[in-house]
Chain A
Amino acid sequence: EPEVTQTPSHQVTQMGQEVILRCVPISNHLYFYWYRQILGQKVEFLVSFYNNEISEKSEIFDDQFSVERPDGSNFTLKIRSTKLEDSAMYFCASRGQGNSPLHFGNGTRLTVT
């Protein structure tokens, strides 16, 4: 069964550094998402992306965050200058048209020191 893949599985970075989290969504999907989960808390929506542009974003997704689909397969989340509170599990997700279910990757655990 096709799946969403994320790399790396774990990233450690120093405060103030830039990080790029990478995702390969399911190949025929059209809608792409980033979510995050701080340890012990709810899964939170960050941003959705469709037709090469952001379709929706949460208040968490401020100017420090950006997304890109640089080619036909990859979908990236960049955090420009990481803060301690950015430490979380970041999940990429994708879905097809209409009312289809959302499929998640296994996540990237980001640790900011």
Chain B
Amino acid sequence: KQEVTQIPAALSVPEGENLVLNCSFTDSAIYNLQWFRQDPGKGLTSLLLIQSSQREQTSGRLNASLDKSSGRSTLYIAASQPGDSATYLCAVRNQAGTALIFGKGTTLSVSS
């Protein structure tokens, strides 16, 4: 059964720092991996989707990498801003099935 783990659970950084959020999954037979942002009491906003054949995706200050064989993905945030404060969720879709399986998230706080 696929399990997704995110480390750290929480992270506090000063504005301007570059940071890395980690995601690991137990079954490497994935179809894709998606990173989301969740603000308190709100829905999930899709940030990046990496297909299983890809190694990374970039959008603005965000870069997500995927190492399928080792079951890891990282989300790199450059030059963090207070507006980046949110919970970041990693989710994988297995090759068999259509469901996304989520990690518990990393709650990021960026102070000005």
Residues of A within 8 A of B (CB): 4, 6, 31, 33, 35, 41-45, 48, 50, 55-56, 58, 91, 93, 99-107, 109
- Which residue in A33, A42, A55 is a CB contact (below 8 Å) of B103? A42
- Chain B: CB-nearest residue to A45: B99
Let me know if A42 and B49 touch, CB within 8 A: no
Partner of B42, one of A43, A56, A107: A107
Say whether B43 contacts A101, CB under 8 Å. no
Please provide the chain B residues from 19 to 48 with a CB less than 8 Å away from any CB of chain A in the complex. 31-32, 34, 36, 41-46
Asked if B72 lies at the interface with its beta carbon under 8 angstroms from chain A, I say no
Chain A's closest residue to B105 (CB) is A42
**B39 CB to nearest A CB, Å:** 10
Minimum Cβ distance to chain A for residue B61 (Å): 19
Known: A101-B34, A101-B46, A107-B43. A56 touches B97 (CB 8 A): yes
Number of interface residues of B (CB under 8 A): 23
Task: Kindly list chain B residues whose C-beta atoms are within 8 Å of the C-beta of A33.
Answer: 98-99
The answer to whether A102 touches B102, judged by C-beta atoms less than 8 angstroms apart, is: no
A91 and B101 within 8 A (CB): no
Q: How far is the CA of A50 from the CA of B98 in the complex (A)?
A: 10
Which residues 77-112 in B have Cβ within 8 Å of A in the complex? Answer: 89, 91, 97-105
Question: For residue B102, which residue of chain A has the nearest CB?
Answer: A43
